[in-house]
Amino acid sequence: MAGLADSGSNPDVDLLYDINGLAKAAPPWFDRIMEFVGEYGLLFAMVLLVLWCWWTVRRRGGEDAAPSVAALAWAPLAAGVAVLVNVPIRGFVERPRPFNDHEGLEVLVDGKTDYSFVSDHATITMALAVGLFVANRKFGLVGLGIALLEGFCRVYMGVHYPTDVVGGLALGTAVALLLSPLAMALLTPVARAVERSPRAGWLITARGRHHTEESRVATGTRNGAPGAEERDLAA
């Protein structure tokens, strides 16, 4: 299984050289930027995007807050599960890194000694993006764009074949989507319980339980029902 892409006539290898050739033609300072972005920057951007979505969801509040936060909690969990699933896949395929089998590549990151298929970076970012999409489509679309850019960067850096990236994107998507119903069934009740908590409710909604009670009383007053002060006077 190690020879998934052994021939230079293989389209996978051809595309590898085409994309990585951009790194050879680019100035060194740009390659250093791509190295940081592809190795750390886009992963950090995904984490910030998940946190931004959570902040937006909790400020908005409403009945959908708890399920949305549950979906956001599933996003990093899905990424972790996908990476664990990738461990036996890598051991079974045993595909060497492209720079071990092909000469003339511009390798931007040294020290990669593990197997190549599938890309952990692509797997993690796509799992996060799909989990984010379940919680909020607008944020999820941005996340999907980041995941695709991550995959491009891994090939640009010379550390993965294009099919390594495609496999990672597929694995992250499959884990996040297929296990999402079970994860939501388990996490949504937990999120609703946290929402009702007087101390931890702010994790789900910024408005909190007291705001809900005030809104209920105010609504009752507008509808002609006696408010708390009126009931006290009547007593």
156-181 pLDDT, tens digit each: 999 999 999 999 999 999 999 999 99
Q: Report the pLDDT value the prediction gives residue 103, as an integer from 0 to 100.
A: 85
| pLDDT band, very low/low/confident/very high, at 30 (cuts 50, 70, 90) | very high
| pLDDT band, very low/low/confident/very high, at 31 (cuts 50, 70, 90) | very high
The model scores a pTM over 0.85: no
Q: Report the pLDDT value the prediction gives residue 111, as an integer from 0 to 100.
A: 77
* Mean pLDDT score across all residues of the chain: 84
Q: Report the pLDDT value the prediction gives residue 87, as an integer from 0 to 100.
A: 93
Radius of gyration of the chain (CA): 24
Backbone angles phi, psi at 158, to 5 degrees: 80, 15
Residue-wise pLDDT for 106-144, tens only, equals 888 887 888 899 999 999 999 999 999 988 899 999 999
Give the separation between CA 46 and CA 149, rounded to whole angstroms: 11
In the chain, the largest separation of any two C-alpha atoms, in whole Å, equals: 89
- Residue entry with tokens 């089998």: 101
- CA proximity to 173, closest of 119, 129, 120: 129
**What is the mean predicted confidence (pLDDT) over 96-104?**
88
Q: Is the dihedral of CA 29, 35, 40, 46 positive or negative?
A: positive
Gap between the terminal Cα atoms of the chain:
82
| pLDDT band, very low/low/confident/very high, at 74 (cuts 50, 70, 90) | very high
Contact assessment for residue 115 and residue 167, using Cβ atoms and an 8 Å cutoff? no
Report the C-alpha dihedral over residues 43, 49, 52, 56, rounded to 10 degrees: -150
| pLDDT band, very low/low/confident/very high, at 218 (cuts 50, 70, 90) | very low
Percent of the chain topping pLDDT 70: 84
**Residue 227 in this model has a pLDDT that exceeds 60:** no
Give the separation between CA 31 and CA 39, rounded to whole angstroms: 12
